């Protein structure tokens, strides 16, 4: 789940989820009590007023709208009546749909008041100095962007005059040095306030992480593949000129998606022994995440291994992405051939450019070249005392051969999103039985419909019988009982959804991930991919979520873990179930959901 969706408590909520708020901590306790041992958060950077997508957020600076105001009162930085005023200004409906702009304004005003009190506090100033010193590598870039954005009236950096537009990318060093010194002098107060907000956001995250650990819950961060537009000002010099990254056509997205993300320049990779600036950039991102989290979800690892790229200057982005190619696997494309690792003789010309099997063979030396950036990530994980098991690679419907080979080097799997399974294709990647132990399995993600809505759609479309039959083959070990069970499941979309969730635990995938909407029985869509709109990326967990989940799970309208686990154990057959008799008895005792059909 993502910060913005965390539930609010009417006593301290200003219109957007915040991990260390009363509601955020209540949800953490709820997840721990249910038995979850990990919480996957989304990217936590600053977003723009027009696009609240966490995947277009800044890579290093945190979103101060995720700061909970209650702890500032506890620290003496904010007064009770100031918190009450911020809460009273919360827009109507913001406890169910995030009010991003209003929450950001409320927190910004609270931070300004808190800073007035913090100026003379030696303890706070010492903390701020230490934070600025250890964060200098990214903080100075972020604060300069914030200052210049204010100087230029909120305009985006592409419209700024020189030298500001290219201050950290291509401006002459003497010019850049003089301008930066001028800005630091003229806007020292704004810089100090910015640093103060970032310090509090980072401190609150560490406090939330400590509370998670006390509950036995690990926190996973999200290494998004896109470089936020704000970060392009700071790091644009690391990008390959004229190229953008997107998603190629695929089974689940036939048109492709022109994301518009920058592509790190291979000429700036360097080597692991002597990292170039692009490789160092990836390492710095990984180190920061590993300082803050217990594991990492790697968003679209293809972008680190063999990104799908297209021409940045094409006036038709959708057409351009459809005419694109893989950066390191296109020796036959003049615009990309100089980057090619795969040779023409290693391609299958009968396969489409985006097909997983387009590259059919590679030497170990070639795989190592494809793995340059991903290996740097793995090395950072190991240096932090973790292992590859702490990496969650988001590989969805497409897994090109180079990506497969790189992940296999580290024993890493892929995502299996079972609601998308093609039931008439025995080899489909989303079928649960085709998973491997190292894979991550789930019914849906933040980009899909909740399973409860999906099951209703299957019933309306007349495809529910196929799904019930497929689930019966997985969940009912007695061949003779399957047809009757499937027929009974057809009578209830809720029973079909519960069976789909129970199927996650049968195996062979050893890692199960549940999106919060699927856990709670929601029928609302959190994100419609490719959509920029106020209602997108705004769905929140309601304040009464625990009671609502209790009612829904008893009525079979939300995930009941004891019931799902008991179903999965029995699905393994009488011998396995008999060996787990004591566990089954305990699960049955705690089950809330209606008995299996």
pLDDT score recorded for residue 82 = 97
Where residue 16 falls among pLDDT bands split at 50, 70, 90? very high
pLDDT score recorded for residue 532 = 77
Tokens for 596, please give them: 């299996």
Tell whether the model's pLDDT for residue 318 goes beyond 80: yes
pLDDT score recorded for residue 1 = 95
Q: Give mean pLDDT, residues 204-215.
A: 98
pLDDT score recorded for residue 119 = 94
Q: Give mean pLDDT, residues 39-60.
A: 93
Tokens for 568, please give them: 């999965």
Q: Give mean pLDDT, residues 560-577.
A: 96
3-class secondary structure, 222: strand
The domain ranges of the chain are 1-33+44-215, 239-413, 438-597
pLDDT score recorded for residue 446 = 96
Q: Give mean pLDDT, residues 442-453.
A: 97
Upstream peptide bond of 373 is cis (omega within 30 degrees of 0): no
Where residue 533 falls among pLDDT bands split at 50, 70, 90? confident
3-class secondary structure, 307: coil
Q: Give mean pLDDT, residues 153-178.
A: 94
Q: Dump pLDDT digits (tens) for 138-150.
A: 999 999 999 999 9
Single out the residue of 77, 62, 142 nearest to residue 114, CA to CA.
77
Where residue 547 falls among pLDDT bands split at 50, 70, 90? very high
C-alpha distances in Å from residue 305, one per residue of 320, 373, 384, 559, 575: 21, 7, 22, 36, 44
pLDDT score recorded for residue 535 = 81
Q: Dump pLDDT digits (tens) for 111-124.
A: 999 999 999 999 99
Q: Give mean pLDDT, residues 322-342.
A: 96
Report the number of secondary-structure helices (H) and strands (E) in the chain.
Answer: 24, 11
pLDDT score recorded for residue 250 = 83
Tell whether the model's pLDDT for residue 288 goes beyond 80: yes
Q: Give mean pLDDT, residues 495-506.
A: 97
pLDDT score recorded for residue 593 = 84
pLDDT score recorded for residue 49 = 77
The fold for domain 1-33+44-215 equals TIM Barrel (3.20.20)
pLDDT score recorded for residue 494 = 96
The radius of gyration of the chain from alpha carbons, rounded to an integer in Å, stands at: 25
CA gap 39, 54 in Å, rounded: 16
Q: Give mean pLDDT, residues 273-300.
A: 95
pLDDT score recorded for residue 181 = 97
Tell whether the model's pLDDT for residue 530 goes beyond 80: no
Q: Is the dihedral of CA 448, 451, 456, 460 positive or negative?
A: positive
pLDDT score recorded for residue 361 = 97
Residue with tokens 């036939």: 254
pLDDT score recorded for residue 378 = 95
Contact yes or no for 188/180 (Cβ under 8 A): no
pLDDT score recorded for residue 246 = 95
Tokens for 319, please give them: 């057409």
Upstream peptide bond of 443 is cis (omega within 30 degrees of 0): no
Tell whether the model's pLDDT for residue 279 goes beyond 90: yes
pLDDT score recorded for residue 100 = 94
Instruction: Please tell me the total number of residues recorded for the chain in this structure.
Output: 597
pTM: 0.95
CA gap 397, 479 in Å, rounded: 31
Q: Give mean pLDDT, residues 182-202.
A: 98
Neighbours of 356 (CB within 10 A): 17
pLDDT score recorded for residue 254 = 85
- Cross-strand bridge partners of residue 325: 309
Q: Give mean pLDDT, residues 157-165.
A: 96
Calculate the dihedral angle through the C-alpha atoms of 296, 298, 299, 300, rounding to the nearest 10 degrees.
Answer: -170
CA gap 24, 101 in Å, rounded: 20
Tokens for 152, please give them: 């230029």
The average confidence (pLDDT) of the chain is 95
Q: Dump pLDDT digits (tens) for 257-271.
A: 999 999 999 999 998
């Amino acid at each position: 789940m993502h910060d913005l969706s965390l539930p609010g408590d009417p006593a301290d909520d200003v219109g957007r989820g915040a991990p260390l708020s009363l509601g955020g901590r209540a949800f953490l306790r709820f997840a721990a009590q249910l038995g979850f041992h990990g919480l996957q958060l989304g990217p936590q950077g600053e977003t723009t007023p027009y696009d609240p997508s966490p995947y277009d957020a800044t890579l290093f600076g945190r979103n101060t709208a995720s700061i909970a105001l209650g702890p500032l009162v506890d620290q003496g930085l904010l007064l009770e009546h100031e918190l009450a005023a911020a809460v009273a200004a919360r827009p109507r409906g913001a406890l169910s749909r995030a009010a991003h702009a209003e929450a950001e304004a409320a927190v910004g005003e609270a931070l300004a008041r808190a800073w007035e009190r913090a100026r003379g506090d030696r303890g706070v100033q010492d903390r701020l100095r230490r934070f600025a010193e250890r964060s200098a590598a990214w903080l100075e870039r972020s604060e300069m962007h914030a200052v210049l954005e204010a100087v230029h009236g909120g305009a985006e950096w592409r419209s700024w005059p020189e030298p500001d537009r290219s201050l950290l990318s291509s401006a002459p060093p003497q010019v850049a040095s003089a301008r930066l010194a001028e800005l630091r002098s003229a806007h020292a107060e704004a810089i100090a306030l910015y640093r103060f907000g970032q310090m509090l956001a980072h401190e609150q995250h560490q406090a939330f992480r400590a509370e998670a650990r006390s509950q036995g819950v690990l926190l996973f961060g999200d290494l998004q593949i896109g470089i936020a537009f704000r970060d392009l000002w700071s790091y644009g010099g690391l990008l390959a000129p004229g190229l953008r990254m997107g998603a190629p056509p695929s089974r689940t997205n036939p048109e492709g998606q022109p994301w518009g993300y920058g592509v790190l320049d291979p000429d700036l990779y360097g080597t692991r022994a002597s990292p170039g600036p692009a490789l160092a950039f990836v390492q710095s991102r990984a180190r920061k995440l590993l300082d803050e989290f217990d594991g990492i979800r790697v968003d679209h690892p293809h972008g680190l291994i063999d990104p799908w790229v297209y021409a940045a200057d094409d006036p038709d982005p959708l057409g351009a992405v459809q005419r694109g190619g893989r950066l390191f696997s296109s020796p036959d494309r003049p615009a990309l051939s100089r980057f090619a690792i795969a040779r023409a003789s290693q391609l299958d010309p009968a396969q489409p450019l985006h097909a997983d099997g387009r590259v059919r063979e590679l030497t170990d030396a070639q795989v190592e070249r494809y793995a340059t950036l991903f290996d740097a990530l793995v090395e950072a994980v190991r240096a932090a005392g973790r292992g590859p098991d702490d990496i969650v690679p988001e590989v969805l419907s497409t897994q090109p051969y180079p990506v497969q080979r790189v992940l296999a080097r580290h024993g890493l799997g892929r995502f299996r999103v079972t609601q998308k399974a093609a039931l008439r294709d025995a080899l489909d990647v989303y079928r649960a039985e085709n998973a491997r132990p190292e894979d991550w399995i789930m019914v849906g993600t933040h980009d899909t419909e909740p399973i409860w809505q999906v099951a209703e759609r299957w019933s309306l479309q007349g495809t529910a019988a196929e799904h019930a039959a497929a689930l019966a083959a997985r969940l009912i070990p007695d061949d003779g009982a399957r047809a009757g069970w499937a027929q009974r499941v057809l009578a209830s979309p809720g029973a079909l959804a519960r069976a789909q969730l129970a199927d996650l635990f049968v195996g062979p995938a050893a890692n199960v991930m549940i999106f919060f909407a699927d856990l709670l029985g929601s029928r609302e869509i959190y994100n419609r991919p490719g959509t920029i709109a106020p209602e997108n990326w705004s769905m929140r967990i309601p304040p009464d979520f625990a009671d609502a989940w209790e009612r829904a799970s008893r009525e079979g309208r939300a995930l009941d873990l004891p019931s799902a686990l008991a179903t999965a154990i029995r699905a393994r057959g009488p011998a396995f179930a008999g060996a787990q008799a004591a566990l089954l008895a305990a699960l049955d005792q705690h089950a809330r959901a209606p008995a299996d059909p």
